[in-house]
């Protein structure tokens, strides 16, 4: 790819979300440079282990989308991987950007609403305390801190985007599990499925990033509608041309979750029950006012 003086460096450009961002830049004919582990990247490197050499690169903007999210840690090594990829990887990238910091006009960090550490809540905004306890949430929290400190030190506008569940083709694990369950006839709705959950379209995020040059701050992003689980399940079933999934009575799910608390390895447990049946929505009004964030409703768009 030809070097230009206004390239955007995209990390994780061949991952789920990064692919949407990369295609948006490509389709808009905005010059970009990719960095990641795949040999498809312009700069092939594992950020969790190494620092890239960017001294002579003509980069003015960075979109850091590389990270580990949709993965269930197994043991101490599994948990450590989140810190290696999300925190150490971010620190390695930031360190490598120091020699060219004076030419950078923006650093965008793709974060997550998991940093709030909430299993339930309604319209949680950016002022809520960060109480994430999982390795994923904590690794993103600490990475956010490093990004903020670095951007202040080197006077680079930093934009941190906290995302809920992201919908798109080849959707990540949480959505993929629902799709696979409905497709195989093994999915059971709990109760009436009225609990609302914040979501966002990967394509909407990618298209808006193109317009957010030089912006800074911390923002939640959602589709603004927050579909219920029933609406999400209905959407997926319709796209698959299948009947709606069966429903498990709420009382039965509560009993099973109690059993799961006592039996290791049992699929249902109280934490999962609470997560499924409780409202969990986030307030993106700040982004709508300050970033002109205008998303579409996830259930109105064909993203499967």
Give the tens place of pLDDT for each residue, 241-296.
999 988 888 889 889 889 989 988 887 888 888 888 899 999 999 999 999 999 99
In a domain, 123, yes or no: yes
How far is it, in rounded angstroms, from Cα 25 to Cα 175?
26
For residue 66, the domain's CATH number is 3.40.50.720
Question: What proportion of the chain, given as a percentage, has pLDDT over 90?
Answer: 76
Which two structure tokens, joined as six digits, stand for 197? 């959950």
Spatial distance between the Cα atoms of 108 and 86, rounded to a whole number of angstroms: 14
Taking alpha carbons only, the member of 42, 123, 139 closest to residue 89 is: 139
pLDDT tens by residue, 104-137? 999 999 999 999 999 899 999 999 999 999 999 9
Choose between 277 and 173: higher pLDDT.
277
Q: Give the pLDDT band of residue 209 (cuts 50, 70, 90).
A: very high
Distance CA 153, CA 157 (A): 11
Asked if 90 contacts 40 with a C-beta cutoff of 8 angstroms, the reply is no
Is residue 203 in some structural domain?
A: yes
Average pLDDT over residues 216-232: 97
Residue 192, in any domain of the structure: no
State the pLDDT confidence band at 214, using cuts at 50, 70 and 90: very high
Mean residue pLDDT of the chain comes to 92
Q: Which of 15-24, 102-111, 143-152, 241-250 has the lowest mean pLDDT?
A: 241-250
CA dist list (Å): 295 to 81, 126, 139, 225, 242 = 32, 18, 28, 10, 28
- Residue range 90-104: mean pLDDT, rounded: 97
Q: Which residue has the higher pLDDT, 248 or 199?
A: 199
Percentage of residues in the chain with pLDDT exceeding 70?
Answer: 96
Binned at pLDDT 50, 70 and 90, residue 70 comes out as low
Mean pLDDT within 34-49: 95
- Of 152, 167, 147, 179, the C-alpha closest to 222 is 167
Element (H, E) at 148: helix 135-153
* Residue entry with tokens 């209905």: 234
CB neighbour list of residue 177: distance below 8 Å, 6 or more residues apart: none
Instruction: Inform me whether the pLDDT recorded for 75 exceeds 70.
Output: no
Q: Is residue 160 part of a domain?
A: yes
Q: Which of residues 133 and 3 earns the better pLDDT score?
A: 133
Q: Among 63, 16, 70, 61, which residue's Cα sits nearest to residue 38? A: 16
81 backbone φψ class: left, alpha, beta (φ>0; ψ -120 to 50)? alpha
Q: Which residues pair with 124 in a beta bridge?
A: 282
Q: Residue holding tokens 């905005």?
A: 30
Residue 231 maps to a domain: no
Whole-number pLDDT of residue 2? 42
- Any residues with CB less than 8 A from the CB of 114 and at least 6 apart, and which? 132, 134, 136, 137, 140
pLDDT band at 76 (very low <50, low <70, confident <90, very high): low
Q: Which domain holds residue 108?
A: 7-171+199-225+282-300
94 membership: H or E segment, kind and range:
helix 89-97
Largest CA distance in the chain: 63
Tell whether 97 is covered by a domain.
yes
pTM: 0.93
- Is pLDDT above 50 for 1? no
Residue 148 lies in a domain: yes
Q: Which residues, 6 or more positions from 185, have their beta carbon under 8 angstroms from its beta carbon?
A: none
SS3 of residue 246 by DSSP: strand
Total count of domains within the chain: 1
The answer to whether position 217 is within a domain reads yes
Integer CA distances (angstroms), 72 to 68, 69, 77, 264, in order: 10, 9, 11, 16
Residue that has been written with the tokens 């768009």 in this structure: 301
Of 94, 81, 88, the closest CA to residue 49 belongs to 88
Q: Per-residue pLDDT averaged across 220-239, rounded?
A: 96
């Amino acid at each position: 790819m030809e070097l230009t003086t206004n390239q955007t460096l995209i990390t994780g450009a061949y991952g789920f979300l990064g692919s949407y961002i990369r295609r948006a830049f490509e389709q808009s004919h905005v010059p970009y440079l990719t960095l990641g582990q795949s040999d498809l990247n312009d700069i092939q490197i594992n950020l969790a282990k190494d620092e890239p050499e960017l001294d002579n690169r003509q980069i003015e903007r960075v979109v850091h989308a590389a990270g580990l999210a949709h993965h269930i840690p197994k043991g101490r090594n599994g948990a450590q991987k989140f810190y290696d990829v999300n925190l150490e990887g971010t620190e390695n990238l930031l360190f490598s950007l120091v020699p060219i910091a004076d030419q950078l006009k923006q650093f965008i960090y793709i974060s997550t609403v998991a940093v709030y550490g909430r299993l339930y809540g309604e319209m949680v905004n950016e002022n809520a305390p960060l109480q994430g306890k999982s390795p994923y949430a904590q690794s993103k929290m600490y990475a956010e801190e490093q990004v903020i400190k670095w951007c202040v030190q080197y006077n680079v506008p930093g934009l941190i985007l906290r995302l809920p569940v992201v919908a798109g083709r080849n959707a990540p694990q949480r959505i993929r599990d629902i799709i696979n369950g409905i497709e195989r006839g093994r999915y059971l709705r709990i109760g009436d499925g009225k609990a609302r959950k914040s979501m966002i379209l990967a394509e909407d995020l990618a298209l808006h990033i193109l317009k957010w040059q030089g912006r800074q701050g911390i923002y939640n992003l959602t589709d603004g509608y927050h579909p219920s689980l029933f609406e999400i399940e209905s959407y997926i079933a319709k796209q698959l041309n299948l009947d709606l999934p069966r429903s498990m009575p709420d009382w039965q799910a509560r009993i099973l979750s109690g059993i799961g608390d006592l039996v290791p390895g049992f699929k249902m447990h109280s934490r999962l029950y609470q997560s499924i049946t409780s409202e969990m929505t986030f307030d993106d009004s700040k982004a709508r006012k300050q970033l002109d964030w205008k998303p579409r409703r996830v259930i109105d768009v064909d993203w499967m």
